[in-house]
Amino acid sequence: MTEAFHDGTPKNLEVEAALVASIMMEPGALQHAISLAPTAFYSHRYRRVFLACAKTFAARGAIDPLLVRDELEESGDMHRIGGFSEFVKFTDPTGFTFKHAKHYVEILQREEARRAAFTAANELALISTQDDAPAILAAFRDRARKLEQDAPRADLRRIVMEEVAFGVLPPIPWIAEDWFGVGDSFVLAGEWGTGKSYLALDLAVSLAAGIPWLGHVAITTAVPVLYLDEENNETNARRRLSRVMRGRNIDPVDAARLQISYLTMNKIKLNSPRGKTLVRREIEASKAKVVILDSVVRFARRVKSTDNDALAEFHDDAITPLKADFGVAVFGIDHMRKPHEDDDKNDPAHRIQGGQEKSAYGDGVATFTRRRDESTGQLRASKVRWTESLPPVIATDFHTSEDELAVWITGKDAAIDAELIVRDLLNDAGAEGIRATPLFKRSEARGANYKTVTRTVERMVKRGSVSKTRVTGGVLYHLIGNQELGTC
């Protein structure tokens, strides 16, 4: 059985399949779809499976693939969805996650609303060729009233106290470990000509390839990236991106497959109807998890960088909806003013050009300082919402190949190398190991920052170079083998 889907009607068949599979494989997913109308499914096959799930649960108070199969066979719908071989595909969890059922429901509700608008527009177009102006206006008002009545009412996001009290503490959804996570607004600011765009390009390549950013910051998993560049023309952008990929020694075949959607000099304004539509379309097409804006000021239409109210409105109107609707992290490049003699602010974040609202709206804020005539610089986090402490300052070093066809940036903790200290202490302890408190205190005594040490030990445990054993009254650490230092 084949369905025709090439009519231009708004739909998301992948999400339809993912939701019905989620409901069958994870009964808890059904609670999110209770309010979903069958018409939210554009595919008749997926709609029939969804109805079979609802009937199964209503009749038995339970649901799983076998029970749904029996319902489809009993109702005669099994052959209508293409037979048992097609039904089996719904039980394959590849490509979706059960815990995202709520988001699947929201997407299908949005697509259903878009279909209703699409249908209404076609009906009005037909009416306009047959009737006079009063009839057209009356039809327009009638369709508008119906669209408003039928529009999905999205559930408010709530925190359930029972889940907080008795549930497991959810892990931080890092994208770049210790720096920014899923759904963050992140601001990276630097003076003109310091190379901050190269840092962003290295980040884009690292995210898409799943390799450490700056060869130092762990990327939790490879993710698609949408890079919107309003600073560099196409030729310059091509050269920079090519040099960064060569510098990371990525094979051309692998580089060609990197999930980076790069748009340059398209005059996109995120607070204009055209800009919003374009960016939403590109996020949907690329399935991006991170959007990089180079630079933020270029995407704000008629917004003065010194107007805090306008900046807050721009973020709420242009950035927040992207994060809420698509779950993307938005990484924006911004500018810093040069320091002056009377500047008593020690934190470089105070030098970000424009109103302080830029730093206020960012879930994460970092600054990059470097002299143009020097290869070394410093990347410093000024704000990270996820944790009470900040990641260590990163000392960067720009490198260029002799033929100038490749550029790469290396990074390392600007503070005393905590991993060397931890490894040395654990090596001296031998088979006895060291408990957590003595390990951290001895590391501090050697000059390492306490928070840096705790995070370093966590990374070493995760990497497998240190073992962590729970014992009476605490935790015991041992060094595993004689492994080389890593960057994860």
Cα–Cα distance measured from residue 298 to residue 303, given in angstroms and rounded to the nearest whole number: 10
Nearest to 297 by CA among 314, 282, 309, 313: 314
pLDDT in tens, 416-437: 677 888 998 999 899 999 999 9
**CA 77: distance to chain centroid?**
39
**Which pLDDT band, with edges at 50, 70 and 90, does 379 fall under?**
very high
**Which pLDDT band, with edges at 50, 70 and 90, does 155 fall under?**
low
Give the pLDDT score at 302. Answer: 80
**What structural domains does the chain harbor?**
1-170 (1.10.860.10), 174-413 (3.40.50.300), 418-479 (1.10.10.10)
Helices 196-209, 234-247: crossing angle, 10 deg rounding: 60
Which residue would you say has higher pLDDT here, 145 or 434?
A: 434
Nearest to 360 by CA among 187, 200, 182: 187
Question: Is the pLDDT reported for residue 357 higher than 70?
Answer: no
- Distance from the first to the final alpha carbon of the chain: 49
State the pTM of this model.
0.61
pLDDT in tens, 7-46: 677 888 888 888 888 888 776 677 777 778 888 889 888 9
Cα–Cα distance measured from residue 192 to residue 336, given in angstroms and rounded to the nearest whole number: 7
Nearest to 333 by CA among 122, 187, 466: 187
Q: To which residue do tokens 């550029």 refer?
A: 407
% the chain with pLDDT above 70: 85
Residue 272 DSSP symbol = S
Give the pLDDT score at 207. Answer: 97
Those residues whose C-beta lies under 8 Å from the C-beta of residue 413, and which sit 6 or more positions away, are 392, 393, 394, 395, 452
Question: Is the pLDDT reported for residue 6 higher than 60?
Answer: no
Q: Which amino acid is at 306?
A: T
Question: Which 3 state secondary structure label does DSSP give 67?
Answer: helix
The answer to whether the beta carbons of residues 115 and 9 sit under 8 Å apart is yes
Cα–Cα distance measured from residue 192 to residue 334, given in angstroms and rounded to the nearest whole number: 10
What would the mean pLDDT of 54-70 be, rounded to a whole number? 84
Question: Is the pLDDT reported for residue 343 higher than 70?
Answer: no
Largest CA distance in the chain: 91
Phi-psi region of 147 (alpha: psi -120 to 50; beta: other; left: phi over 0): alpha
**Which pLDDT band, with edges at 50, 70 and 90, does 485 fall under?**
very low
Nearest to 300 by CA among 317, 285, 283, 324: 317
Question: Is the pLDDT reported for residue 238 higher than 90?
Answer: yes
Q: Which amino acid is at 382?
A: S
Give the pLDDT score at 243. Answer: 97
3-state helix, strand, coil in the chain (%, to 5): 50, 15, 35
From 66-80, 163-177, 472-486, the region with the lowest mean pLDDT: 472-486
Which residue would you say has higher pLDDT here, 189 or 445?
A: 189
